[in-house]
Amino acid sequence: MTALDHSTELLQAFEEFQRDYPDYEKTHLIDELRARDFSRLDAQGHIYLDYTGGGLYGVSQIDRHMDLLRGTVFGNPHSVNPTSFRTSELIKKTRDHVLDFFNASPEEYGIVFTANASQALKLVGESYPFDVGDNFLLTFDNHNSVNGIREFDRARGARTTYIPAVPPDMRVSDESLDRALELAVTGDHNLFAFPAQSNFSGVQHPLEWIERAQKRGWDVLLDAAAFVPTNRLDLSQWHPDYVALSFYKMFGYPTGVGALIARWPALKKLHRPWFAGGTITVASVQADRHYPAEGSAAFEDGTLDYSNIPAVDFGLDFLETVGLEQIRQRSHCLTGWLLQSLLALRHRNGKQLVQLFGPSGLESRGATITLNLKDSSGQTMDHEVIEHLAKKRKISLRTGCFCNPGAGEMALGLSKQELLKCFQSSGQSMTYDDFRLCIDGRSVGAVRISIGIASNFKDAFSFVEFAKQFLE
Ligand SMILES: Cc1ncc(COP(=O)(O)O)c(C=O)c1O
């Protein structure tokens, strides 16, 4: 327990934790990694609990990348000169590594490098051949970068349908999913989008939905951004048509690179609304025509972030060295302990301190925990105050609705009627404060903590100690 400081309470809690979660011991290599690659966390006294917001990089990733940059002459990959050739080789190596990491066959899947998960999602939204009578189906529980696709489908006369995620567990019932899947019209274009893991509640929606939906005529867009940092997505077992992700969420560095992983026929189905440098074979001004490039190139606008893309290769190596299974196992143990410890906190009058949004058990859930704190009269404490106090203890957590308004509305009990009233009464713009006022000052947000690659018991313990200060 080298990385922990040795207060008696911490040591005692750690012993009990190890008894309850014996698998944690099997992940002891991560403690060595934390001391070696993430020493900045303890050196600067940070308690980092926002891995769903952004992953952390190990210093060895940076060292490898800096060495590469120092020793390589990179040319723009849109040429065939020697420096350009070297850059293209490194990009190809990274593309192959991404496919390999996700166990995706190159015959089945292609990689489109994007700036982030949002750009990957937008590529699908803007290029999917929505037309009048087509369908876009999605869960309430989705990031805004998926919700935003509805603007594309509406503009072309397609229909948007949401499937509710029901509190307190924030899961989707089989009946409502099956009913919604019936909406697919044979011969039309039907797109179904859901997150493999919720960035709000940590719920892992079943990957079995992919085949179930495809059998009924849907193309499936899987938002894997919050799932892949601590879970293996095996694309030889699951076959979504489109997968979106950001690499910084997996291993912290580089930021600014994400991917759309798409099945070749699904990629062919997309029609880009414009063309750009790199996305065409030939374009003519006078003939007013252009021909799109084949495969991934048709979707990679302009020049790729070619000095950073090789760092993705190193990031994947880093994750492979640590072992995704170890990260998953450790996250699982810490999440279980956090849930158990937080839900046990009670005010003197017996009322629970923590209101949890999402599953209280470990089954089909990831390492993201969202909650509000309640005072002894049952009033929700302001999440902004909690964030402010956490900051004083150098605890990095996230508050608000985490760009997932659908899950937030369901979890916090905001009805369609009151939301419509607010939106109808506002003009062209609405600030967060206006919105809050409109719903009678009720809480429109929550507090989120999340565990990841470098987490240890002390991080979890520190948050529970922090929460205890709110007990009366
Ligand atoms: C589930 C999910 N989808 C999409 C995104 C968008 O990712 P990015 O901001 O990297 O584009 C996020 C970011 O938090 C997320 O958690």
The neighbouring-strand residues paired with 284 are 289
pLDDT category, 434, cuts 50, 70, 90?
A: confident
Q: Which of 407, 446, 444 is nearest to 168 (CA)?
A: 407
Query: Which atom of ligand 1 is nearest the CA belonging to 197?
Result: 1
Give the whole-angstrom CA distance, residue 185 versus residue 377.
51
Q: Please count the other Cβ atoms lying within 10 Å of the Cβ belonging to residue 426.
A: 13
* 246 CB near ligand 1 (under 6 Å): yes
Read off the pLDDT of residues 224-240 as tens digits, 9 standing for 90 and up. Answer: 999 999 999 999 999 99
The token duo for 366 is 């990831």
What pLDDT is stored for residue 431 in this prediction?
83
Which atom of ligand 1 is the closest one to the Cα of 224? 1
Indicate if the pLDDT at residue 4 is higher than 60.
no
Closest residue by Cα to atom 2, ligand 1, is 225
How far apart are the C-alpha atoms of 263 and 130, rounded to whole Å?
A: 18
Cα 347 to averaged position of ligand 1 atoms, centre (Å):
36
- pLDDT, one tens digit per residue, over 121-161 is 999 999 999 999 999 999 999 999 999 999 999 999 999 99
Amino acid at 435: F
Give CA–CA dist 412/410, Å, rounded. Answer: 6
CA of 120, closest atom in ligand 1: 11
Residue 1 pLDDT > 50:
no
Give 348 Cα–ligand 1 centroid separation in angstroms. 39
Per DSSP, the three-state class of 5 is coil
Q: Residue 219: its pLDDT value, please?
A: 98
- Is the minimum distance from the CB of 195 to ligand 1 under 6 angstroms? yes
Q: How far is CA 197 from the centre of its chain?
A: 7
| pLDDT surpassing 70 at residue 214 | yes
- pLDDT on residue 428: 77
Higher pLDDT, 94 or 444: 94
Q: Would the pLDDT of 411 be above 60?
A: yes
Q: For 53, list phi and psi in degrees, rounded to 5.
A: -75, -50
* Distance separating alpha carbons of residues 311 and 302, to the nearest angstrom: 20
Please indicate whether residue 225, judged by its CB atom, sits closer than 6 Å to ligand 1: yes
Active-site residue numbers?
A: 403
Instruction: Say if residues 190 and 218 touch (Cβ distance below 8 Å).
Output: yes
Cα–Cα distance measured from residue 257 to residue 309, given in angstroms and rounded to the nearest whole number:
7
Q: Among 113, 121, 143, say which to mutate for ligand 1: greatest number of ligand atoms within 8 Å of CB.
A: 143
- Please give the helix or strand (H or E) that residue 465 lies within, else none: helix 457-468
Residue 368, ligand 1, Cβ within 6 A: no
Give the pLDDT score at 6: 57
135-139 vs 280-284, strand pairing mode: unpaired
The radius of gyration computed from the CA coordinates of the chain, to the nearest angstrom, equals 23
Share of the chain above pLDDT 90, in %: 90
pTM score, two decimals?
0.96
Tell me which architecture the domain covering 8-58+323-401+445-468 has in CATH.
Alpha-Beta Complex (3.90)
Assign domain 72-320 to its CATH architecture. 3-Layer(aba) Sandwich (3.40)
Token pair 């940092």 is found at: 229
pLDDT of residue 2: 46
Return the amino acid letter for 401. C
What pLDDT is attached to residue 438? 80
Residue among 353, 343, 302, 315 at smallest CA distance from 453 = 315
Which pLDDT score, from 0 to 100, does residue 406 have? 94
pLDDT band at 201 (very low <50, low <70, confident <90, very high): very high
Q: How far is CA 314 from CA 82, 311, 321, 429, in A?
A: 23, 5, 10, 44
Strand intervals (E) in 49-198: 109-114, 135-139, 159-163, 190-195
Band of the pLDDT at 5, cuts 50, 70, 90? low
d(CA 72, ligand 1 centre) in Å: 32
Contact in structure between 353 and 216 (CB atoms under 8 Å): no
For residue 403, give the ligand 1 atom closest to its CA: 14
Q: What number of residues does the chain have?
A: 472
Residue 368 host element (H or E): strand 368-373
Ligand 1: does its nearest atom lie under 6 Å from the Cβ of 117?
yes
- Where do the domains of the chain lie? 8-58+323-401+445-468, 72-320
pLDDT digits (tens, 9 = 90+) for 301-357: 999 999 999 999 999 999 999 999 999 999 999 999 999 999 999 999 999 999 999
Distance 250 CA to ligand 1 centre (A): 11
Q: How far is the CA of 22 from the centre of ligand 1 (A)?
A: 33
As a whole number, the mean pLDDT across the chain is: 95
